[in-house]
Amino acid sequence: MRSTVGWVPVTSRTLIKNLAALPDGPVSVAGWVDTVRDQKKVQFVILRDETGAVQLVNPAVRELDPEGVSVGAAEALALTESISGLSHGTFVRVMGELKHDERVKLGGLEVKIGDLEVVTAALEIPIAADSGLDKRMDWRFLDLRHPKQNLIFRIQTTFLHALRTYWVEHEFVEVQTPKLMASPSESRAELFQLEYFDTTAYLAQSPQHFKQMAQSAGFGKIFEVGPAFRADPSFTSRHATEFTSIDTEVSWIDTHEDVMRLHEELMVAGFTAVVEKHGAEVAELFGIELTVPTTPFPRIPLAEAKQIVADHGYVVPRADADMDPEGERRISQYVKETYGHDFVFLTDYASTIRPFYHMRHEDDPSLTKSYDLIYNGTEISTGAQREHRVEVLVAQAESMGLDPEELGTYLEFFKYGVPPHGGFGMGLARVLMLMLGEGSIRETTYLFRGPTRLLP
């Protein structure tokens, strides 16, 4: 059935969330069919769009009055039959009469259907709300129709825009660094490689190399939000082979403390925007009362954090100086109980467990000027002041068993002058996962990529 409406511009459909503010009268809505209650005398359709759900109602006309010649009777019968045939997921466009009515549970309003156009029919949906995660991922484009999933990506939009607005207002320059590289910049492990005309290219594991190059180029302060790739064979809830990395790098810092201060200001900007715009929805759909974190975030040197965790009964079972996920959970819990804070910077990681380009303390080169940011028990970011003195950088690389020859192009730009600098990289999906209490970054990634998942 064709709609009687001719040209519908982008902005003419009324978003469902905007119906409540309209007076009773004609409206045009569009979306997909969530459910149909096809009663003898009356039909109800729950229509959903990206902003909400609304009840549509139609008085059923089941047969033509054999004697009647009432105007529109055939159309009414056809409409009834069309509604009876609607399957979940069918996209429809509806002209109707909005009526506010307190008795309607769903938002206190309904739309009496005048005309309904079936835009595309739909096969039966192969997943349910309680389907397993992997099955939902198989049908991610349907899974994303759920209001909770939709909200995640509206939150993502708000969060990223708040970060970018902070950066732009503070005169950071946005860069798009290449994802195709001639050589691995950090390590040959977990690296995707591809045939590139007559040579081989590698997919960037992070924009680290190119962010630092921008410091040599005199860009001063930069940011990027883009994909990063790791041929990581693990199947944990927090690893992916492709993920969105939030990156920033700043010249003329004095210590990693400067980076942490920038980092917490960015988090406050992001959380403030999310709480303002989506706080009520998050409470409703996720049962979480989001709050804006206070600054400064607690800072604990890693060695001290390990000691605190040990004093509370968990000795991190590692031979090296590093933390482990259980240790991160426990120190996070300690910080929450002691300081009432969801975030904690673990600082001053041992040089042996950090990349060679992290700057070391002048008075104790066994420690780096670096940190991890832990949020609700899980690491979401690594930051550091970088070593900008090429001779020190070479010495640090060699001391860690790296061959400076292999790092050739990485070291090149340092020879032409680089100011002191530092920055961080942060996984977007992890932030969202921990913000919303989700169990996996699969839930907070638009289309997850893992060792056995390249589809859809």
Q: Which residues are annotated as a binding site?
A: 186, 230, 379, 382, 386, 427-430
Cα 359 to Cα 51, 255, 300, 348: the distances in Å are 48, 9, 18, 10
Which residue numbers belong to the known binding site for L-aspartate? Answer: 186, 230, 382, 386
**Smallest gap from residue 418 Cβ to its own copies (A):** 5
Q: Does 210 bind its own copies (CB under 8 A)?
A: yes
Site for its own copies contains 320 (CB under 8 A): no
Q: Does 235 bind its own copies (CB under 8 A)?
A: no
Binding of its own copies by 50 (CB under 8 A):
yes
Closer by beta carbon to its own copies, 218 or else 296: 218
Determine if 219 is a binding residue for its own copies (CB under 8 A). yes
Contact positions with its own copies (CB under 8 A) in 134-163: 140-142, 144-145, 150, 153-154, 156-158, 160-161
By CB under 8 A, the residues from 334 to 373 that bind its own copies are none
Nearer Cβ to its own copies (248/332): 248
Among 79, 83, 163, 203, binds its own copies (CB under 8 A): 203
Q: How far apart are CA 53 and CA 48, in angstroms?
A: 4
Residue set of the binding site for ATP:
379, 427-430
- Residue from 178, 296, 365, 437 in contact with its own copies (CB under 8 A): 178
**Six token digits for residue 306:** 């390990």
What's the per-residue H, E or C state across the chain?
CCCCCCCCCCCCCCCHHHHHHCCCEEEEEEEEEEEEEECCCEEEEEEEECCEEEEEEEECCCCCCCCCCCCCHHHHHHHHHHHHCCCCCCEEEEEEEEEECCCCCCCCEEEEEEEEEEEECCCCCCCCCCCCHHHHHHCHHHHCCCHHHHHHHHHHHHHHHHHHHHHHHCCCEECCCCCEECCCCCCCCCCCEEEECCEEEEECCCCHHHHHHHHHCCCCEEEEEEEEECCCCCCCCCCCCEEEEEEEEEECCCCHHHHHHHHHHHHHHHHHHHHHHHHHHHHHHHCCCCCCCCCCCCEEEHHHHHHHHHHCCCCCCCCCCCCCHHHHHHHHHHHHHHHCCCEEEEECCEHHHCCCCECEECCEEEEECEEEEEECCEEEEEEEEECCCHHHHHHHHHHCCCCCCCCHHHHHHHHHCCCCEEEEEEEHHHHHHHHCCCCCCCCCCCCCCECCECCC
296 or 419, CB closer to its own copies?
Answer: 419
- Restricted to residues 20-49, the positions that interact with its own copies (CB under 8 A) are 30-32, 48-49
Number of residues interacting with its own copies: please give it, by CB under 8 A: 110
For the segment 384-443, give every residue that binds its own copies (CB under 8 A): 388-390, 409, 412-420, 428
**Binding of residue 281 to its own copies (CB under 8 A):** no
Per CB under 8 A, the list member of 2, 9, 105, 363 interacting with its own copies is 9
Minimum gap (Å) between residue 250 Cβ and its own copies: 6
Residue from 113, 250, 373, 426 binding its own copies (CB under 8 A): 250
Q: What is the smallest separation between the CB atom of 274 and its own copies, expressed in angstroms?
A: 13
Q: Which of residues 104-123 bind its own copies (CB under 8 A)?
A: 119-123
Min dist CB 232 to its own copies, Å, is 10
Report in angstroms how near the CB of residue 171 gets to its own copies at its nearest. Answer: 8
205 binds its own copies (CB under 8 A): no
Among 184, 208, 229, 348, binds its own copies (CB under 8 A): 229
Q: Which of 194, 313, 340, 362 lies at the binding interface for its own copies (CB under 8 A)?
A: 194
According to the binding rule CB under 8 A, does residue 272 interact with its own copies?
no
